[in-house]
Structure 1
Amino acid sequence: MPGPKDLDPSSSPRAMLGAELRHARERAGLSQEELGQRLFVSGSFVGQLEAATRRMTPEIARLLDEVLDTDGFFLRNCKVAAKSKYPGHFAEAAEAEAAALELRQYSPMLIPGLLQTPAYARAVFRAYRPTAAEEAIDALVVARMERAHILDGPTSPLLWAVIDEAALRRVTGGKEVMAEALRHIATLVRQNGAIVQVLPFDAGAHASMEGSIKLMDFEDAPPLVYYEGVGTGRLEDDPATVRHVRRNYEFLTASALSPENSLVLLDAMAQDYAHEEHL
């Protein structure tokens, strides 16, 4: 029986690799749980590989080739599927984000990436990398703006963002950049491109004071939580962990301003920044 063909780098490698994995698993007569046991991972992780919401590592690919007798196919092609324009610690999360049906995010210190303008993103990247070449910053900005296109189409995910007032008060790139950034968010909200709530300072102590939250829900794979730090990040699919983080997010939405009042605040702050810029 002929083996699977190597993947075409110009196609959608992650999706094709997932489809080939499902085909090879079913041909071997294994369930996701049974294959997971042989790989020392959960069945849900196998499902995420098949749904292309998780990245296949070389070690997992090597084990798949051994268990499924695929003659090195997965190890050869996981390198193609792993290519990304995003930093290594964020690449898997960005790809999962693009496949999600719903995204819920709390951002304590900066405007979420999917809601950023080019000028705001440039200021953030320049702060992260003060000695980087301009071309490197340009490439990061382009990649971030391309990410935001997932909100453009009719099948775009639901994005529900809670933004801390601290992120909106921190002048990033100057007051003109902040005015544009807040007007951009307000426009997206009015166009029904996102649900945005602001968590005001006077909300006091809240359920996520120790850091950000990012929850992703999918049509055919278990939900994920993304944990991010400085130059690092990881995806987590443990059901108890996901439930805990989701509950904290729900507490945040209860403490935040309503979407309507949040929009009023965004408009007012944008006007204030624009006015101050011209004083």
Structure 2
Amino acid sequence: MPTEDGLAREFEVQRDHLHAVAYRMLGSPSEADDAVQETWLRLARHDVEDVRNLPGWLTTVVSRICLDMLRGRAARREEPLDHPPRLDSGAEENEPEREAVLIESVGRALLVVLDRLGPDERVAFVLHDLFAVPFDEIGPIVGRTAPTAKKLASRARQRVRGVDVTAGPELAAQRHVVEAFLRAARSGDLDRLLSVLAPDVVRTADAAALPAGVATTVRGAGSVAAETVLLQRRSQVAALALVEGHPGIVVAPRGRLLLALTVTVHGDRVAGYRVTADPSRLRGLPISLLPC
């Protein structure tokens, strides 16, 4: 039986992997840290003499801990402790460096979509599709049979990737325009924005998405571009996603959905976009990953 020091060394070898699993399941660095720490405590209390595959055992334990946390979060209908800032806080761009690196490694849009899955779906999808854990190991973690776990992952996969969407030429062309729009917004370059906006572009938005006194509808490239420059900081925590079946943009500080932009493209210009910020409307908005 390994000594406590030996167990600690073996655990440290697995720590980064366990944190990667926990972060993708929970979407919160601090909660992922808690899950990994609880995994260590359970290891320290467990008689590991009968554990033949320690990495697999640790992955199972951290997954069950995360599942319990996700189920508890869903039951309370609460955000995690490190929830995104309020729309009016001005803190969207102030992601801690470690968290920004984590988000970059996973993908901001993927975190947004994973957060819309049910606890069991999320765990099954993350374990199978992101970490290649077989379904006969996932089933006991979520308390289901292997075939049922496979169905959970399949249902999650459809929501993550969207249904009946193929990466055809039209989608690629729309994506190119939306990418150009996002790049221009991030740069704060008025001329670049004007080059990608149609002259008669229309921007509509929920009032909650806007600073006080800004109209919910703005018309004309000049007015829309000037406003977009003023909102430049939010574009720093934005990513491309499929919004209502078309290339759009999600604004997600700390990987949590704050705003969604449904973009209309005509030719090589943005003809209009709608900003959704109301939480109830955001929950019902179809969002998935853009196909590669």
Report TM bin, short chain: under 0.3
TM-score (norm 1): 0.24
TM-score (norm 2): 0.23
